[in-house]
Amino acid sequence: MDKKKEYKEWENLASQELKDKNLDSHYWNTPEGIRVKPLYTEDDLKSLHHQIGLPGLPPFTRGPRATMYTNRPWTIRQYAGFSTAEESNKFYKEGLKNGVMGLSVAFDLATHRGYDSDHPRVLADVGNAGVAIDSIEDMNSLFDGIPLDKMSVSMTMNGAVLPVLACFIASGEEQGCSMDKLTGTIQNDILKEFMVRNTFIFPPKPSMRIVADIIEYTTKKMPKFNSISISGYHMQEAGANQVQELAYTLADGKEYINAAIQRGLNIDDFAPRLSFFWSIGMNFFMEIAKMRAARFMWSEIVKKFKPKNNKSLALRTHCQTSGVSLMEQDAYNNIIRTTIEAMAAVMGGTQSLHTNSFDEALALPTNFSARIARNTQLILSEETGICNVVDPLAGSYYVENLTSEIVKESKKLMDEIDEVGGMVKAIELGIPKMRIEESSAKRQARIDSKEETIVGVNKYKPTEKQKINILSIDNEKVRKKQISRLEAIKKSRDKKIVESYLEKIKNAASGKNNLLEICIEAAKNRCTVGEMTSAMESVFGRHNLSTKTISGVYGSSIKNDGKKDLIEDELEKFISKRGRRPRMLVVKMGQDGHDRGAKLIATGFSDLGFDVDIGPLFQTPEEAAIQAVENDVHVIGVSTLAAGHKTLVPLLMQSLEKNEAKGIKVICGGVIPPDDYSLLYKLGVSKVFGPGTNLQEAAIEIINIL
């Protein structure tokens, strides 16, 4: 039987089984714009946009190493950091005893933004969503008893990358580990920060100079250390679909290569030490195909720079399971979600992996939840047989076709970036940010319309209340301890030497000397992270982002199931009573730059008929209250992710009272432990909304509150 006749026979059989002669209705159009058929055959392998090849050889579609996990499994990492360096150190040591093979450090937001813990703008940020690092002394405590010549350390740091990396290198030397023996990765991916995560400090041009300084210095003096981790993770967390995540991350990578080459470096001197970082969400096969497509495309990109070493063409990656897929409702479902995502990362060929804890939609992970997350990887590695075969899905009709389609669609987005002059220019024009925010709004509309199912959230909702023990950090206690340590350092150090090194940093920032080299010496002499940052800021300035939101995307994507009509009726009643539409100010207070939630609220409520203002990032509670009064709003929507609600919201309420604006209602949304709801209600907060809230239902509730 020939192939066409055989396929037609299947089509007839499938139509009969589905009791639907229109088989076309069973095709799936993915959010990325890829049309997925219900059946793939060998014919679908005849016109691929990529080469399959062999593992360990260009174009590396099947993996960067020939033997992959059959020789050595992926590195199990634990992304963690909270409270003080001493507390994080205990957590790391516990993980290392239980199968963790590499450390991934999460820094608090004060550190990310280059502020010491005693700065007035970081009252709520010290030690909350990561570990507080103010100086080399904190770094010494963080790695006390952990030999840095034997332990790979990954650090998620971009804005304050120079002083933090300098403290790490200096700490290693004080421990007896010379910098040429340090292994691990510094993220150092500032372009992604300007696009989605927003923990930048300096403007784009000096920020790119810092990236190049680090690549140059580490290339020459730290042969085992990865100078940059080019990250798509935060793009997907901000709402990017997988094609956007892939295309924009690779475009960032091209920009960094160009910056290094302009510095006079040879492609083979640094490209083998570049690494990548992907988010792994719930679209199982799409994530696997994305990783395979990424390796093929990166090989093709780097080939144009004419390397002589094949290792320069190989894309190596760390992966982390999705944070956005974690839900507060029916939270134990998150264990299953993380397991599926971890499997996708492994089937896609990751080199290292962090699995999120199930309670991270509620608060920081506990030892109990972190153990489950860690054991998820151990079970995959030790019990499933996955490690016995290299790239087991290679040649799959579906996976190869999906890989091919991702390559095709990603190239379209990369061509758009090239046409405007590269990623820096595209970011200045706001192109990637706009595309990602559109994708985020469309997905929220699909979830709210129940076109996309989230078990326990918009379908199969639990009927019983869950009781989950969570980790709570005493932010004020941590801050006081950090301030005390800072005071001790400043008393014991040589003030004149500190001032001389801060002056050297300013001179280097104004000139061409390598900033990392000078910062390492400054760190050894007990200059703090905040002081080094401030010295550079005096030359570079501190970058401010204009806050813009898209409109119309959520409204045009939401399915009308009667809720929109109900909202319009309620709005008409409100307008007839108050003479205008309800006005909301959406705010992000503190140093948390993750603004997906705030942007979704702003665009969604605007499309539903509210007048919406959005505050600038990094507002203080006092600044938010003044803006609310000046804009004459009815309600303030506080978006919080980084556990600062217990400090920031009370200050906001006090500021409203001080400004004689107690009539303005306050609502809160984001990652807030349910046990904290009562505290917020006692303060006068009108409503608390958790992750996974339906925007239309929230809009109706808020109109009723007003």
Q: Which of 60, 276, 294, 96 is nearest to 185 (CA)?
A: 276
Q: Is 79 a catalytic residue?
A: yes
Backbone phi, then psi, for 431, in 5-degree steps?
-65, -55
User: Is 397 tagged catalytic?
Assistant: no
Cβ(163)–Cβ(135) below 8 Å: no
CA-atom Rg of the chain in angstroms: 26
Q: What angle do CA 417, 421, 427 make, to 5 degrees?
A: 60
Residue 586 has φ and ψ, to the nearest 5°, of: -95, 125
How far CA 96 is from CA of 101, 105, 147, in Å, comes to 6, 14, 12
Please write down the HEC assignment for all residues of 96-110.
Answer: HHCCCCEEEEEECHH
Catalytic-residue membership of 332: no
Which residues of 28-80 form beta strands (DSSP E)?
28-29, 35-36, 75-80
Given the residues 254, 504, 588, 687, the one annotated as active site: 588
354 carries an active-site annotation: no
Catalytic residue among 50, 112, 192, 234: 234
C-beta neighbour count of 526 within 10 angstroms: 19
For residue 1, count CB atoms less than 10 angstroms from its CB and return exposed for 0-12, middle for 13-18, buried for 19 or more.
exposed
234 belongs to the catalytic site: yes
Based on the residue annotation, tell me whether 408 is a catalytic residue of this protein.
Answer: no
Residue 606: C-alpha distances to residues 261, 444, 568, 586, 602 (Å): 45, 14, 12, 11, 6
Q: Which two tokens stand for residue 84?
A: 């003080």
Distance of CA 216 to the CA centre of its chain: 26
From 92, 115, 217, 233, the catalytic residue: 233
Contact 190, 201 (CB under 8 A): no
Q: Where are the alpha helices (DSSP H) in 310-364?
A: 333-348
DSSP characters for 139-170? HHHHTTT--TTT-EEEEE-STTHHHHHHHHHH
Give the active site residue among 192, 563, 594, 646.
594
b/e code 392-428 from CB counts within 10 Å (16+ = b): ebbebebbbbbbbbbbebbbebbeebeeeeebbebbe
Question: How far, in Å, CA of 489 to CA of 37, rounded?
Answer: 64
Q: Within 13 Å and on the Cβ side, how many CA atoms surround 355?
A: 32
Q: Which class for 465: exposed (0-12), middle (13-18), buried (19 or more C-beta within 10 A)?
A: exposed
Measure the CA–CA gap between 631 and 111, rounded to whole angstroms. Answer: 32
Lookup: tokens for 635: 């309600």
Please identify which of the residues 79, 115, 248, 554 carries the catalytic annotation: 79
CB 371 within 8 A of CB 14: no
At how many degrees (to 10) do helices 529-540 and 495-510 cross?
40
Distance (Å) of CA 427 to CA 194, 410, 418, 432, 440: 7, 17, 12, 6, 18
Active-site entry in 108, 592, 595, 607: 592
Please give the positions annotated as active site: 79, 233-234, 588, 592, 594
